[in-house]
Amino acid sequence: MPSDTARPSPGYAADFADDYDRWFGKPGITGATVDALAALAGHGPVLELGVGTGRVALPLRARGLAVHGVDGSEAMVRRLRAKPGGDEIPVTVGDFAEVPVDGSFSLVYLAGGTFAELPDQAAQVRCFGNAAARLAPGGLFVLDAHVPEALAAAGPEIVAEGEDLLVLCHRRLDTAAQRYHSHYVVHEGGATRHLRVAFRYAGHGELDLMAAQAGLRLKERWGGWTGAPFTGDSAYHVSVYERP
């Protein structure tokens, strides 16, 4: 499993690829995410960083948008390719901090907390800068993230459950390093396994500074993909940055 300082390894993504959609692909959250991004995208094209199994990209494509993707995991991309229409989304396998694609986009986005998978501030700053370089004038860069203070206060949560399935998540924070680990305990088929994933969190003020350094400005911030207001009680945010 990844160390405190390393980028999540290909093995981390392989651990989740086969189960990602049934654990994390909650229809209500996915639907709200797709609705919000479709409303922001204009006529496209759009680029998803960390496209994964296509949970968001495929529904956006079904709405008529040209969707491109970047992902570091061949296992995740194979799951995307196995889905109807998945072989019609151009995907570059590589480091999404570098945004290794050509062309310009009306919208570049990350969903599902993917931005925090970048291992350090330098990689996150590069992601902002490279994403901004791929935006058409007036284009938008959108990401979602936990509010760090809410992360610190949160207890274990049930990720998925069924007749013979229970997935629990417990997060351990290292506030000195601005990092946390998500520990997933999976009990299924009479067996239990433990998966561990490392993240580097940033508060919304720090994200705004990264955006300004990249030549972007904050356009909107919501308390979730439904567009609810962002308040002092929000545990999550969706931040929409604009290229002037």
Q: In what order do the strands lie in the sheet with 217-222?
A: 91-93, 67-71, 46-49, 105-109, 135-146, 236-242, 217-222
Phi, psi of 68 (to 5 degrees): -115, 160
With a threshold of 0.85, does the pTM exceed it? yes
User: Are residue 116 and residue 169 in the same domain, yes or no?
Assistant: no
Q: Are residues 30 and 126 in the same domain?
A: yes
Do residues 42 and 65 make contact, with C-beta atoms less than 8 angstroms apart?
no
Residues 18 and 100 in one domain: yes
Let me know whether 44 and 99 are in one domain. yes
Please check whether residue 129 lies inside any domain of the structure: yes
d(CA 228, CA 73): 32
Both 178 and 160 in one domain: the answer is: yes
In a domain, 3, yes or no: no
**Domains contained in the chain, number:** 2
* Three-state DSSP class for residue 83: coil
Using alpha carbons only, give the angle 50, 65, 45 rounded to the nearest 5 degrees: 70
Closest by CA position to 69, among listed 85, 46, 43: 46
Task: Identify whether residues 155 and 79 lie together within a single domain.
Answer: no
Domain that holds residue 164: 151-197
Express each pLDDT in 161-218 by its tens digit.
888 888 888 999 999 999 999 898 888 888 898 888 899 999 999 999 999 999 999 9
Q: What's the pLDDT score for residue 159? A: 80
For residue 28, give both structure tokens: 């209500």
**Where is pLDDT greater, at 17 or 147?**
147
Whether 61 and 182 share a structural domain: no
- Read off the pLDDT of residues 47-93 as tens digits, 9 standing for 90 and up: 999 999 899 999 999 999 999 999 998 988 999 999 999 999 999 99
Q: What is the mean pLDDT of the chain?
A: 89
CA distance 173 to 241: 27
Separation between Cα atoms, residue 80 and residue 161, nearest integer Å: 24
The domain that holds 143 is classified in CATH as 3.40.50.150
Whether residue 178 is contained in a domain is answered as: yes
**Confidence tier at 36 by pLDDT (50, 70, 90):** very high
Domain check: are 103 and 177 in the same one? Answer: no
Pair (21, 68) in one structural domain: yes
Same domain assignment for residues 109 and 222:
yes
Reference 113, options 194, 20, 9, 217; nearest CA is 20
Residue 5 falls within a domain, yes or no?
Answer: no
